[in-house]
Amino acid sequence: MQPKDTAEDIVIAGAGLAGLAAALGLHRKGVRSVVLESSPMLRASGFAFTTWTNAFRALDALGVGDKIRKQHLQAQAYVVTHPVIASATGETVREADLTQSGKRGPNEIRCVRRDLLLQALEEELPRGTIRYSSKIISIEEDGDIKILQLADGSVLRAKVLIGCDGINSVVAKWLGLAKPSFSGRSAARGFAHYPDGHGFEPKFLQFVGDGFRAGMLPCNQTDIYWFFTWTPSEHDKGVDESAVKMKQFVLDKLRGSKVPEEALAVIAKSEMSDVLAAPLRFRPPLSLMTASINKGNVCVAGDALHPMTPDLGQGGCSALEDGVVLARCLGEALVGDSAAVENERIEAGLREYARIRRWRSVELVATAYTIGFIQESNHAIVSFLRDKFLSGVLAGRLLKMADYDCGTLSN
């Protein structure tokens, strides 16, 4: 059968957190959209992610917060240890209470399984909203209409194009955003399932060593997620050739830094992420200050807008914020009673979205980069200051960045 040419009002590229949040927000506002996803099914790559207070506010605005709460444990504390120091002195570098209140209300941190969150968002969308195996390969213009060429040969005409297509976004490229830069660090992630219960307390454990940082957090009573970020060197060339080699590399690094045996046992038992070693990239924050986040009836959200290093655990959380703000601004522009012609209303809605999200994006990307640099530095002075004085400040910064409210779908 010949691929067809079709027309849609609002097209969202990518069914990740940003794309599904934007589509669901628009649906709640009574506005239909179609989501084009390049994969044949939802992609839950990376297993899980730390979901902070700001993300729960966004999920509540979308009407799925309670469903996610029921499936995941609330983290009670954030415990940072430098195992080499701890083995000599017995000291924990920092323990922060994660249930204390921030300026805008109580904190809430859970380690959320990506598959469960993506499914929860998808289930609320009208059938047929997501078109799988639909990869956008090029964007052209016919007046105000965007003409999307898909990899299967079909063509789709769109009145509005929202790029939620991740770090290698074709929409960000079309807008002329700066290419993401490599931070010099990589990450590995894993997931351990204990059918009879893992017995760990709901605490976010973090181990800082020379040139690496590892974190571990239970999602629920049976699943534990962990990550490991490090600065690759000549010595570890080839560790990402197989899951077995990658896991052994992580275990060797952690064992060499005296990480407790219980934590090593979790890693030894786990399944590794499909991407064994992800290079950590970010959009230079200076470039975001003046970037064209929107142009006419096109804009970007999530990693397509603000890829960041994972040191604040905010990339996915802020993608959810983007989705809510975008749905509110675009939804109000479309269903509101302004007398302006539709095109002008769409452009004004996207301009407002870009205005709200620009500085939040700049702040998150810059803070994540700085925290990552300090936490993993093995420079003598930086690591001395970090271990003596800065750990408390860094933990406080995580909570501060999470104490943000993107608002509801109507204000």
Residue 114: Cβ within 10 Å count = 21
Cα–Cα distance measured from residue 27 to residue 49, given in angstroms and rounded to the nearest whole number? 25
Q: Please say which residue, 49 or 249, places its beta carbon nearer to ligand FAD.
A: 49
Please state the closest distance from residue 164 (CB atom) to ligand FAD, in A: 5
Please state the closest distance from residue 165 (CB atom) to ligand FAD, in A: 4
Please state the closest distance from residue 64 (CB atom) to ligand FAD, in A: 15
Please state the closest distance from residue 142 (CB atom) to ligand FAD, in A: 20
Please state the closest distance from residue 137 (CB atom) to ligand FAD, in A: 7
Paired strand residues for 78: 96, 204
Cα–Cα distance measured from residue 54 to residue 198, given in angstroms and rounded to the nearest whole number? 28
Cα–Cα distance measured from residue 324 to residue 321, given in angstroms and rounded to the nearest whole number? 5
C-alpha count within 13 angstroms, C-beta hemisphere, residue 325:
26
Cα–Cα distance measured from residue 229 to residue 328, given in angstroms and rounded to the nearest whole number? 36
Cα–Cα distance measured from residue 35 to residue 41, given in angstroms and rounded to the nearest whole number? 12
Please state the closest distance from residue 84 (CB atom) to ligand FAD, in A: 24
Residue 54: Cβ within 10 Å count = 23
Q: Please say which residue, 25 or 302, places its beta carbon nearer to ligand FAD.
A: 302
> N- to C-terminal Cα distance for the chain?
46
Q: Please say which residue, 137 or 335, places its beta carbon nearer to ligand FAD.
A: 137
Paired strand residues for 204: 78
In 3D space, the residue among 2, 19, 6, 14 whose CA is nearest the CA of residue 152 turns out to be: 2
Q: Please say which residue, 334 or 364, places its beta carbon nearer to ligand FAD.
A: 364
Q: Please say which residue, 79 or 164, places its beta carbon nearer to ligand FAD.
A: 164
Q: Please say which residue, 18 or 334, places its beta carbon nearer to ligand FAD.
A: 18
SS (H, E, C) 357-387: HHHHHHHHHHHHHHHHHHHHCCCHHHHHHHH
Cα–Cα distance measured from residue 109 to residue 98, given in angstroms and rounded to the nearest whole number? 7
Helix, strand, coil proportions of the chain in percent (round to 5)?
A: 40, 25, 35
- Residues in touch with ligand FAD (CB under 6 A): 13-19, 36-39, 43, 46, 49-50, 135-136, 164-166, 170, 187, 189, 227, 278, 302-304, 310, 313-317, 319
Cα–Cα distance measured from residue 318 to residue 54, given in angstroms and rounded to the nearest whole number? 8
Please state the closest distance from residue 187 (CB atom) to ligand FAD, in A: 3
Q: Please say which residue, 15 or 356, places its beta carbon nearer to ligand FAD.
A: 15
Cα–Cα distance measured from residue 364 to residue 162, given in angstroms and rounded to the nearest whole number? 21
Please state the closest distance from residue 345 (CB atom) to ligand FAD, in A: 25
Q: Please say which residue, 112 or 374, places its beta carbon nearer to ligand FAD.
A: 112
Q: Please say which residue, 345 or 395, places its beta carbon nearer to ligand FAD.
A: 395
Quote the tokens at residue 9: 């009002």
Please state the closest distance from residue 338 (CB atom) to ligand FAD, in A: 29
Please state the closest distance from residue 186 (CB atom) to ligand FAD, in A: 9
Q: Please say which residue, 15 or 329, places its beta carbon nearer to ligand FAD.
A: 15
